[in-house]
Every structure is written in structure tokens, then in C-alpha cells.
Chain A
Amino acid sequence: MFLFKRNSKTKKVTDSGRTRRIKNIEGELSYQVGNLQKIGARSSQEDSFALINALDVNDIRQNGLFAIVADGMGGMKDGKLVSETAVAGFVQAFRSLNRDMDISRQLVDSVSQVNSLLNDKFDGEGGTTVVLAMIYKGMAYWVSVGDSSIYLKRNGGLFKLNRDHTYRNKLYLEELYKVEINKNEVESNKDGVRLSEFLGNSRVDEIDNNIKPLKLKKNDVIMLCSDGISGFMDEDTISDVLSLPPEIACEQLGKLIDGRSHKNQDNLTAVVISCMN
């Protein structure tokens, strides 16, 4: 790796690839990012992702950093196209946000907009998950629909911020009201992995998001990923990998998954953002 300076006053650029470290104004966080996408054992790639404003410190300061991962549903039509359209829709929504107004609510509203766009375009036959995060003025706002994941690594602990919208989680919820909770029955239900909510549906009832913005701290790491990662890796490993700088973490995640070569390895996509000063 080599290191060189681009603009000594504002920007410091390290290395090889997907990341740059940007020096900042006092007290302001700066962000290092990395992304990863692999096809796994599938015949096509149906995940889509985007990282917006990641390379420009001024853009981040003015408009915020935006990251999104969408996992097009293989069990429905046009997985790739649906996830791509969703990403494009949300990126557009991000660009046209009114940053002086309630960001959380606008992001949640954009879910319904993108959903009806997808529903119209694909006529209810295509579906995708989405997990997105916007970082603006040191605050993170996230939204999730479906079974993609958003993780926060803080102080050595790994926290999954969203809840998967799966039938299994619905079953668990039902079990809670029963006298005796039967875990095996829930786990063995073969429809458990089906999504209870996704985009492209006639309407979206389940949306996960943080109502209060998450104040980011130095050394926090956020990862958005499709279930090709969260479903094939235990959280200890994810946590370990996220200790590395984002672009190396992404490389490492890819290698680990490749090494396991699971015969049903789903498409995998991750976007990693780490906070520094």
C-alpha cells in the first residue's frame, strides 16, 4: 500500500482501492468505506447496492453519506432488475431529501414511494429486500424491509439493528403468546425463511427503522449486507472481520465465504462504513 496526499489541507488519500481516508474539521467524524459483492453458487447476481457521496468529504458534509443494499428475490421474477430499480429509486429519494426536515420520516416515506413504483413496474411479480443507511452530521438513519441486515459494531460488541421480516419471526411472535414455547416447531417450519414483507408488494406494512437518529461515535462500524452474508456467517466472525479497515474487511469476508464454498451460497453483498476522526 502506498500513501499520498492529494490536497494537503482537506484530504488525505490512502491506498489501493475502495477507500479513502479524509481528514476533517475538528470534532467531525470522517468515514472509511468498503464494498463487496459476489455471486456465490447462484447462476446470476440479483443483489444491488450503492454508496453515494463516499469519495467526497464536501458531499458528505453537505448532503450526507448514503449506503444501500437490495437483495432481489430469486423466488420471484426479475430479481436483479427489481433490486436495481429499488436502489435507483432510493438514491433518487436520498438526493431529493429535504435535509432540514425530519429525515427519518422522509426515508420511511420513500419506502412507500419506491414500493409502489416497483409494484407498478413489475406488477406484483417481482420483489426485493432493502436495507439503507444515511449518515448526516454524525447521525445515522436506517431503514430495512425484508431479511437483509444492518449491523453496528461498537465497543467490541456487534449489534444487529433491524429485525428480519420473515415468517419464522412471525411464528416466534405467535409462540410468545402460548403457554409453552415450542422452538423446534418454529425452527423446523419449512416456510420459515419466506419473507413476511418485501418491496414490490401491493403495500408495505412492516418497515424497520430507527425513530431516533443514531449518534455515531469514533470507531463505530456499520455494515449493511444481504442474507448471503448474514445467513452464512456467525456473528462472531462478522464481528472479528469488522475490526479490520472496511476495504480489507470486505476482502476478508469474500475470502471467508469463498473458502467455505457452500453449495447453496446465496449472492452476497456488503457495504461497510467505519467512523473515525
Chain B
Amino acid sequence: MPAVECGRGHLYDNNIYTTCPYCNNSTQAINFGGVAVDRDNKTRPISDVYNQPNNFVNPMADPYQSEVSVLNEGKTLPPKDYAKPKKVEDDNKTVGLMKEKLGIDPVVGWLVCIEGKEVGKDYKIRGQINTIGRSEKMDICIKNDNTISNENHARLSYSERNNKFNLIPAESKNVIYLNDNEIFTPTVLNAYDVIDFGETKLMFIPFCSEKFDWKSTKQVM
């Protein structure tokens, strides 16, 4: 049968090629002047390729080719002001006042889903305003609950100055309950308060409290 798939989603004619010509591409590229770098088609560990220096230019390569590769001409570039993000945690969403002061954007508390589709999941709360919604753009993203607005369902603030958390209803179409009382204005949150968004219930767990806040640690750091 002439049409084959190599197992990695590449189709080729096995009357012409013995192995997938597309899987080999990355290595076949370094194949000038009859100096073939042969690699079998197996899945290999990342480090194998990864260790190669970024600006690796095969000395055997055609000078014209290497000239092209050194120039940045035509290469796809990121935005001009793009800088590798400095990360604190696995998700660096909020860049706030605390980050500016401390150089890090520390966690100040958590929400834990105790009822709903994402039950068991935790969401980090950081300094200043945290947006809550279904969209990935939100600081706190609760994905699978359609009763939650896509963006800015509510906000959760942490004031570093007063060491206080507030829940602020925003563009939600549904009533938000805090410990079974409906709320329409910013309301102070206390440890183990339950925020009820309809299908999803979240329990609030502060990290910053009377016992600890980042302001006082700053001196130590």
C-alpha cells in the first residue's frame, strides 16, 4: 500500500521513501556536501536535541546557507517589547503593586472549589484585584461552569495596606451568595467563608492574616 502514515501524522509515499521524510527533516537539514547526519526515526528524549546550542551552524554547511541562518532576515519574531516573563509561580497572571515592591507576586490566599464541576481544585489569590470568570484571561478562571460570566463575574481584592480581603460582585448575571446571604456590594471575606456562584461553591482560605503578611516579611527579606 503506497500511502502510509508514519505514526506522527505525516503521510508519505513509501514507494519513494523508506522512512518518513518529514520526521527526519530537522536532522536532514544538516545535510550538505554529502555529509549526512543519520538519525533513526525513533522518538528521542528532548535533551538530545535540546542540548544543541541555539546558534549551531554546521561547519560543513554551504556558506550561503549559513549566512542566511545567521541573519535574522525573514525570521518570525515576537513583539518588539517582548521580554521573557519573569515567573514567580506557575501562572504569572497578575502583575500588581506587590510585585513591584517585593519583586515577586506572592500568593495571599486561595479559593478552593468545594462544589461544582471543578470540585477539589484550588485557585490562587494574589495581591490587589483578582478577576473571576470563565475566560482564561481571568486571574481566577473557573472553566466549566456556564452560570459564571466569561469575564469579570466578580472580583476579589486583597488590600496589602489593611491586610483585608473583599469580594466584589461585578458583571455577574446571577446573584452571588456569601455564606447563603446574597451580596451586591463589596463584602469583607473571612476565613472559611463560602462563596456561592450558583453551580460552583468556593471556600475562601486566607494566607495573609493577622498571623502573617508579606509587608512584614519584606523587612526580613
Residues of chain A having any CB pair with chain B under 8 Å: 6, 13, 15-20, 33-35, 37, 39, 41-45, 49-52, 54-55, 68, 71, 73-78, 80-81, 84, 87, 91, 109, 112, 116, 119-120, 123-125, 127, 129, 146-147, 167, 191, 193-196, 198, 201-205, 227, 263-264, 266
Contact = CB atoms under 8 A, between A and B. Distances in A.
A26 to B, nearest CB: 25
A75 B11 CA distance: 29
Contacts of A33: 11
Contacts of A41: 65, 68
B54 interface: yes
Contacts, number: 152
A20 B9 contact: no
Q: 4 smallest A-B Cβ distances: which pairs?
A: A50-B9, A74-B75, A75-B77, A17-B13
Interface of B: 1-3, 5, 8-13, 15-16, 22, 25-26, 28-30, 46, 49-50, 54, 57-58, 61, 65-66, 68-69, 72-80, 82, 84-85, 87, 90-93, 136-137, 143
Given A52-B9, A55-B3, A55-B5, A44 B74 contact: no
Contacts of A51: 5, 9-11
A35 B65 contact: no
Contacts of A73: 75-78
B183 to A, nearest CB: 29
Given A17-B13, A129-B76, A78 B50 contact: yes
Contacts of B85: 119, 124, 202
A193 B77 CA distance: 8
Contacts of A125: 84
Contacts of A50: 8-10
B26 A80 contact: yes
